[in-house]
């Protein structure tokens, strides 16, 4: 009661001196609101003009849905509108079972771009890669379509054949034929690599933490003398935040995993680990690459910051934002997928646009080493023109020679990043692991030589003499 009276008294004292200001403030607040209503009226006027004057009849519902989607996608690459059908598809996907091809895609300048194929799916088996552009589905162009519209064309009845036209850097466009399946990707699996276990997590759906725990328990039961574990998050496009927290929690005894912060600086939500490390403290290495995005970056960042694991591979994708799915009228009118926060690793770093850099940079192939040395061919969050800005002063590392790549004598049938991860486990740390010579990036050499040649005066021809 006393508190209430004190607040009331303060309000009364302030009120006497601020009455003139209140009317001015109310008018100022009304101005942007009036502008908003005017622009909404403009939207309605445009719809009416299209309805009456467009060359052919239009579907009002589709027209307005496209307008809503355009409004959201203008904010950032990960916001968008889900019509009722797409909303149902999304819920099926997060439950870990749906019909389709198994590709995580986004939109860049009106072109559908692959973030990552999912393990064990038709897209994965067909060799579709992160960074590929999908330009047509069954011979019909998808250029200019929203992601939602393009995905609709790729989905359908299991057993039907779908032809995708793929545009890939340094190659001519080509068609890939896939057969739709009911996608039931097993998001976690485990196997042995010599004395060490490899726990592969390919996505984060509602089953991921349970599947990972079960896969490791089975592996440990068969191999009680396992000496360490590699957590493979390469080409993992992300998924549910709570599952990223759950996977991190499997390896941590407590403390912060991740925090998310919204527009209001006071709006901070922290996620902490509970006691209990399922491995009993086994040495841990995490594998990442440029296809490791969002939820997989939360896991990698948490385990790196908490000194629970060292990271091997290449810099991750750099998606440091959180999307909230907001059903409209209970989902009857679909849902908004809206970016509502950024996430931060335990040390307080945001990886938006910059990605997480590994403790030991290792290119998978010599070709990949050259891609890293020639930034023009890299695909990451920073590639999007309307991506949210990174923290002030932070930029993604530019073109450079990667620390390591497979020597020419390395067996191409083996996985070089897995090999180096097992080396780190065997020697005890990245610092103690003997380093390999830096690979030479031929493309960088060619560019340098060309520039030197341009700078030199041309030799005189016989005619000039």
pLDDT single digits (tens) 23-32:
555 555 556 7
Cα torsion at 143, 148, 149, 154 (round to 10°)? 90
Task: Answer whether 84's CB lies under 8 Å from 61's CB.
Answer: no
| Multiple choice CATH, 60-183, 1.10.600.10, 2.60.40.730, 2.30.42.10, 3.30.365.10 | 2.30.42.10
> What integer pLDDT is reported at residue 442 of this predicted model?
60
Neighbours of 435 (CB within 10 A): 11
Q: What residues act catalytically?
A: 294, 305, 319
Domains of the chain, residue spans: 60-183, 188-445
pTM: 0.73
Decide if pLDDT at 11 tops 90: no
Distance CA 348, CA 273 (A): 16
Mean confidence (pLDDT) of the chain: 85
Region 440-457: mean pLDDT is: 50
pLDDT score of 97: 59
pLDDT digits (tens, 9 = 90+) for 360-388: 999 999 888 888 888 655 678 988 888 99
CB 82 within 8 A of CB 88: no
pLDDT at 185 > cutoff 70: no
Q: How confident is the model at residue 85 (pLDDT cuts 50, 70, 90)?
A: confident
Q: How confident is the model at residue 258 (pLDDT cuts 50, 70, 90)?
A: very high
The tokens describing 312, both together, are 């091997």
Query: Average of pLDDT values for 3-12?
Result: 31
pLDDT of residue 5: 28
How far is it, in rounded angstroms, from Cα 258 to Cα 124? 30
pLDDT at 29: 54
Give backbone dihedrals phi and psi of 197, rounded to 5 degrees, phi first: -90, 150
Backbone φ/ψ region at 389: left (φ over 0), alpha (ψ -120 to 50), beta: beta
Cβ count near 223 (within 10 Å)? 15
Predicted confidence (pLDDT) at residue 344 exceeds the cutoff of 90 = yes
Q: Name the β-bridge partners of 324.
A: 338
Q: What is the pLDDT of residue 184?
A: 72
Lowest mean pLDDT among 23-32, 114-123, 196-205, 345-354: 23-32
Stated length of the chain = 465
Question: CA–CA separation, 284 vs 247, rounded Å?
Answer: 13
Say if residue 177's pLDDT is above 90: yes
Q: Is the pLDDT of residue 180 over 50?
A: yes
Round to whole Å and give the CA distance between 151 and 148: 5
| Helix pair 84-95, 147-154: axis angle to 10 deg | 70
The residues that bridge with 133 in the sheet, in sequence order, are 113, 167
Nearest to 254 by CA among 270, 268, 240: 270
**Model confidence at 432: pLDDT above 70:** yes
Q: Which CATH superfamily is domain 188-445 in?
A: 2-enoyl-CoA Hydratase; Chain A, domain 1 (3.90.226.10)
Between these two residues, 296 and 447, which has the higher pLDDT value? 296
- Count of beta carbons in the 10 Å neighbourhood of residue 343: 25
- CA–CA separation, 366 vs 407, rounded Å? 8
- For residue 457, what pLDDT is reported? 45
- How far apart, in whole angstroms, are the C-alpha atoms of residue 389 and residue 16? 44
- How far is residue 188's CA from residue 198's CA, in Å, rounded to a whole number? 10
Residue with tokens 């800005």: 389
Q: Within 380-433, where are the H helices?
A: 416-427
Position 30 scores a pLDDT of 59
């Amino acid at each position: 009661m006393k508190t209430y009276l004190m607040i009331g008294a303060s309000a009364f004292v302030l009120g006497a001196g601020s009455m003139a200001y209140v009317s001015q403030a109310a008018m100022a607040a009304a101005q942007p609101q009036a502008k908003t209503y005017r622009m909404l009226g403009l939207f309605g006027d445009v719809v009416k003009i299209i309805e009456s004057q467009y060359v052919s009849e239009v579907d009002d519902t589709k027209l307005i849905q496209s307008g809503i989607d355009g409004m959201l996608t203008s904010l950032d690459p990960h916001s968008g509108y889900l019509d009722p059908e797409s909303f149902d598809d999304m819920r099926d996907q997060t439950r870990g079972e749906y019909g389709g091809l198994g590709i995580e895609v986004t939109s860049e300048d009106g072109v559908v771009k692959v973030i990552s194929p999912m393990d064990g799916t038709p897209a994965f088996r067909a060799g579709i890669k992160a960074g590929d552009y999908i330009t047509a589905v069954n011979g019909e162009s998808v250029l200019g379509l929203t992601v939602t519209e393009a995905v609709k064309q790729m989905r359908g009845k299991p057993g039907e054949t779908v032809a995708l036209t793929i545009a890939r850097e340094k190659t001519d466009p080509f068609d890939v034929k896939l057969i739709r399946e009911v996608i039931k990707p097993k998001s976690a699996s485990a196997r042995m690599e010599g004395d060490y276990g490899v726990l592969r997590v390919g996505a984060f759906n509602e089953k991921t933490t349970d599947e990972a725990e079960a896969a490791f328990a089975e592996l440990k039961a068969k191999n009680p003398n396992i000496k360490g574990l590699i957590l493979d998050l390469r080409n993992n496009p992300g998924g549910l935040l709570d599952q990223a927290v759950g996977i991190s929690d499997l390896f941590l005894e407590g403390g912060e995993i991740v925090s998310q912060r919204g527009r209001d600086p006071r709006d901070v939500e922290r996620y902490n680990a509970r006691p209990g490390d399922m491995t009993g403290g086994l040495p841990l290495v995490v594998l990442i690459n440029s296809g490791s995005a969002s939820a997989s970056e939360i896991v990698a960042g948490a385990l790196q910051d908490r000194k629970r694991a060292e990271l091997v591979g290449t810099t991750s994708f750099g998606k440091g934002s959180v999307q909230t799915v907001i059903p409209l009228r209970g989902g009857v009118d679909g849902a908004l997928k809206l970016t509502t926060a950024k996430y931060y690793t335990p040390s307080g770093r945001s990886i938006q646009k910059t990605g997480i850099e590994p403790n030991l940079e290792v290119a998978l192939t010599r070709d990949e080493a050259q891609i890293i040395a020639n930034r023009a061919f890299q695909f990451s969050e920073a590639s999007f023109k309307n991506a949210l800005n990174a923290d002030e002063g932070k930029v993604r590392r530019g073109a450079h020679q990667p620390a390591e790549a497979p020597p020419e004598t390395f067996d191409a049938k083996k996985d070089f990043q897995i090999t180096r991860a097992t080396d780190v486990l065997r020697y005890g740390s990245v610092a103690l692991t003997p380093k390999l010579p830096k690979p030479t990036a031929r493309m960088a050499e060619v560019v340098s030589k060309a520039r030197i040649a341009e700078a030199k005066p041309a030799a005189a021809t016989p005619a000039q003499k």
